[in-house]
Amino acid sequence: MTKPGIGIKYIDIAKIIDESNSKVLHKLPGFVVRWIARIIRQDEMNHILGKYSAYIGVDFLIKIIEEFNLKIEVVGKENLPENGKCFFVANHPFGVIDGLVLTRTVHEKYGSLKAIANDAFMFIPQLHPLIAAVNIFDRSSKECLLALDDTYHSGVPITHFPAGEVSRIYNGKVQDSAWQKSFITKAISSQRDIVPFYFEGRNSRLFYMVYRTRQFFGIKMNIELLLLTREMFKKKNKTIKVTIGSPLPYQMFDESLSHRDWAQKVRSHVYASNPL
């Protein structure tokens, strides 16, 4: 008997390209599209997603970590506060993998969480229950905002990648783009301390080459995001190292700096491990 989920195309490159607004992508010949599908391991990823389709939320997350035989080394677990009403924020070098590890680490401590959606979750429907108020169930923007606001003011832990995207090459270094200010604004309004996480590592050269090529040709669609599944396989049997810093009390984010400037200061703190 065929297992539920087996055979479903969770990731369909041909369909994604066909539905894009890029005229350049629409001109790609079929053999190039098929080549891209092989590069990103489309069939293998769809098989894994189907294999564990019956596992939802954290149960699915644990199965994926086991499937890829990831060894996770966490330094600073003692910095996780007993009160989980915090923002657990991190740099975003990998995509899916750092999302899995951040989520698992926080859930192990507190038993529950919500993740502010980002591109790391876009191809993994089994993890959607962990995502906070994302418009994946055709809810209106107003309903999403209200649900998200309820989440902020609840006691549930919230994980977040404030860059809003996976790290690229900026100023000659692999690093996050400027962090969005919203997590500072919400930390203050919902009285949540901020717990910083730092992930060590980077994606493959191909990922950054595709990003730079896209920029050169002025292609707006984030083609390199399609490689995030390939990047998962590159991390198979690898060790993922993460460091947890001391909590930053929300009271420290005073009017001496704008929320945007505070966000960049926290970002710099995560990368440099310098005290604020």
Query: Is 110 a member of any domain?
Result: yes
Q: Find, among 4, 1, 2, the residue nearest to 126 by Cα.
A: 4
Give the domain extent around 260.
13-272
Asked whether residue 2 is domain-assigned, the answer is no
Digit-coded pLDDT (tens) for 232-272: 999 999 999 999 999 999 999 999 999 999 999 999 999 98
Residue 65 counted as domain residue? yes
**Can you give the pLDDT at residue 149?**
87
Could you tell me which of 166, 189, 185, 182 has the C-alpha nearest to residue 118? 166
pLDDT beneath 70, residues of the chain = 1-7, 118-123, 133-141, 273-276
111-121 residue pLDDT tens: 999 998 755 46
pTM summary value: 0.87
Q: Looking at the 3D structure of the chain, how many domains does it have?
A: 1
Where b means 16+ CB within 10 Å and e means fewer, 150-161 reads ebbeeeebbbbb
* CATH code, domain carrying 135: 3.40.1130
User: Is the residue at 126 inside a domain?
Assistant: yes
Counting residues of the chain whose pLDDT is more than 90, the rounded percentage is 60
Is 107 a domain residue? yes
Task: Establish if 256 belongs to a structural domain.
Answer: yes
Cβ-contact 98, 116 below 8 angstroms = no
Is 3 within the bounds of a domain? no
Across the chain, how many H-helices and E-strands are there? Answer: 11, 9
Q: Is residue 80 part of a domain?
A: yes
